[in-house]
Structure 1
Amino acid sequence: MLTLFRLVSGWPLALLHGVGGLLGWLTWLASPTYRRRFAENAAQAGYPFATVRPAVAHAGRMAAETPRLWFGPTVPMQWQGTESVDAAYAARKGVVFLTPHMGCFEITAQGLAARYGPDYGPITVLYRPARQAALAPVIETARRREGLETAPTTLAGVRQMIKALRAGRAVGLLPDQVPPDGMGQWVPFFGKPAYTMTLAARLVLQTGATPMLVWGERLPRGQGFRLRFEPLSEPLSADLDTAVAQINREMERLIRQCPQQYLWGYGRYKTPRPEK
């Protein structure tokens, strides 16, 4: 698997996105369950399929571009809204970067590591270990890079992130990812209860770090990515329950900026699995 990833990593980004778009549609056509979940999730947010149709291809592009991002040459990146990021880092209170399952979330961590790592230390990214044994060494090798550290979804990983924030560094996570049972609460997401992690809000409230929204827009014709940053629309509440609901609303707001690049096929409303 690692050999295959390294081989594909040399392909031009435009070619990978072309192949990925095709794979996205093949997956959509081959899986009735995926098609139904995709349509239901989009409809829950108020979007007819015609509006979010491009998201089918973007899901495939996300998968196809991964070898290039992990093992290939650096891809072009544009930056938008870095003034607020600069100020957050300069405060030395830590930064919690929050992004939904939209666009390319792999590129946001890489970009931040390269741009801010030399001056402010590495960014620590929360990840869930691969369930497929063949992928585990690939992911471990790919994410072993300067300026980027990973923290597993365990108590040890949480402690690692808190330590990083208290040292004035940054962490990144996807707050719309369904956490294991016992690590979240049911909160509305586009008007429907979704099991939502409390970790994002807890990290901010416990450390005093600055929350920052980010997502990586996938540009057309293989031109690269645009990293888009913005602060929360209002300060995060000191009440945990209110803060968790607030973060969900912020994720909704980002998704509405570009619903064509959101992963509508993600099982956002699933019942959480027990933690082993």
Structure 2
Amino acid sequence: MPSVFRLFSRLPLPLLHALGAALGWVAFLASPTYRRRFLANAAQAGYAFGQVRAAVAHAGRMAAETPRLWLAGEPPPCEVQGAECVEAAWAAGRGIVFLTPHLGCFEMSIQEGARRWAGAHGPFTILYRPARQPWLAQLMRTARSRPGIAAVPTSLQGVRQMIKALRRGQAVGLLPDQVPPEGMGLWSPFFGRPAYTMTLAARLVQQTGAAVVLARCERLARGRGYRLHLQGLGEELSADLPEAVRQLNAAMEQQIRACPQQYLWGYARYKQPRAEAQALAEVGT
């Protein structure tokens, strides 16, 4: 597997996206469980299969492009729209919490942000959970520790490092639609159905006064690269935690509806949270 991963990292992006599209359809047709979840999640959001069928191929493209994004030296081209909201937050002396759902190339969202702004404003901090396979864990350590990106553990220590980064006026990045472990979230509506949702994103903003920037990295056709869309939250985040979580879920819905053809509808968004020995129910200082 490591050799296959490295081989894919050397292939051009158009070829990777073509191969990934085929792999996406193979997975969709071969797995009844994945297919049912994909269709059910899309229907929950009000989409017929014909409206989001392109997302089948995009799920495969996400898998196929990952080796190149992790290991290749030269990043793919990426346009940026809405950078003004980022500049305004830093001009006001605030840290930034970048939030992106499982939409498009979310890996590229942080990479491009770090490439553009880490030199002037410090590294972008992200949470990092090691893989169970030794070869993949080593690969992820290398990939996550890129210039301009600081990967911290998914532990209380890691959360404290994120808080410190925000208080220094730096940036952190999170996937707020990722189902957290038990004790680290709240049940909150997501496309009209209760979903266990992380509280970490809201707590970071509430405790540090950071700005929220919504990031959506869209794949361009024929492997031409990416387009990163950035925008502010548009409202102050509530001091009430359940309401703040609801606000962020609503913001993620808005991002997904802007490009439903590239959302990971097969992600188990409504699953029960897993139990962990140490749940980060409280964000420490």
Supply the distance in 2 between the matched residues of 1:32 and 1:128 (Cα, whole angstroms): 28
Partner of 2:49: 49
Match for residue 16 of structure 1?
Answer: 16
Offset of 1:135 from its aligned partner? 1.3
The answer for unaligned runs of 5 or more in structure 1 is none
Matches of 1:121 and 1:3, distance apart in 2: 34
1:1-276 → structure 2 map (5 Å cutoff): 1-72=1-72, 73-276=74-277
Q: Is the 8 A contact 1:179 1:197 kept in 2?
A: yes
| Residues in 2 aligned to 1:4 and 1:27: alpha-carbon distance in whole angstroms | 18
What is the CA-CA distance between 1:4 and the residue it aligns to?
A: 3.0
Partners in 2 of 1:265 and 1:31 — Cα distance?
A: 11
For 1:218 and 1:152, the matched residues in 2 are separated by 29
What TM-score do you get using the length of structure 2 for normalisation? 0.94
Aligned length: 276
Give the Cα separation in 1 of the matches to 2:157 and 2:194: 29
Bigger mean CA offset, 74-83 vs 134-143: 134-143
**How far apart are residue 93 of structure 1 and its match?**
1.8
CA-to-aligned-CA distance 1:164-211 (integer Å, 9 cap, x gap): 101110000000000000000100100000000000000000000101
SS in structure 2 of the partner of residue 214 of structure 1: strand
In structure 1, distance between residues paired with 2:21 and 2:159: 35
Q: Which whole-Å CA distance do the structure 2 matches of 1:148 and 1:182 have between them?
A: 27
Q: Percent identity at matched positions?
A: 64
Is contact 1:102-1:261 (8 Å) kept?
yes
- CA separation in 2, counterparts of 1:3 and 1:156? 34
What is the rounded CA distance, in whole Å, between the counterparts of 2:172 and 2:252 in structure 1?
A: 17
- Secondary structure of 1:228's partner? strand
Partner Cα separation in structure 1 for residue 132 and residue 261 of structure 2: 28
Task: Provide the C-alpha distance between the structure 2 equivalents of 1:182 and 1:234, rounded to a whole number of angstroms.
Answer: 27
Shift of 1:8: 1.8
Q: Displacement of 1:131 after TM fit? A: 3.4
Q: 1:92 offset after TM fit, Å?
A: 2.5
Deviations 1:62-96 (A, max 9, x none): 00001111111320110100011111122222100
Aligned equivalent of 2:281: none
Shift of 1:216: 0.7
TM-score if structure 1 supplies the norm length?
A: 0.97
Stretch moving more, 154-163 or 55-64: 154-163
> Residues of 1 paired with 2:175 and 2:28: CA distance?
24
- Cα distance between partner residues in 2 of 1:197 and 1:128: 16
For 1:5 and 1:23, how far apart are their aligned partners in 2? 15
Between the aligned partners of 1:186 and 1:151, the Cα distance in structure 2 is 26
Q: Deviations over 1:97-156 (max 9, x none)?
A: 000000001101111111101100000012333233331111111122110011222111
Instruction: After TM superposition, give the deviation of residue 254 of structure 1 in Å.
Output: 0.4
Matched residue SS, 2:135: coil
CA distance in 2, matches of 1:210, 1:137: 33
Shift of 1:52: 0.6
Q: What code does the residue aligned with 1:17 have?
A: H
SS in 1 for 2:134: coil
- Measure, in 1, the Cα distance between the counterparts of 2:240 and 2:43: 31
Q: Deviations over 1:20-71 (max 9, x none)?
A: 0000000011100000000000000000111010000000000000111111
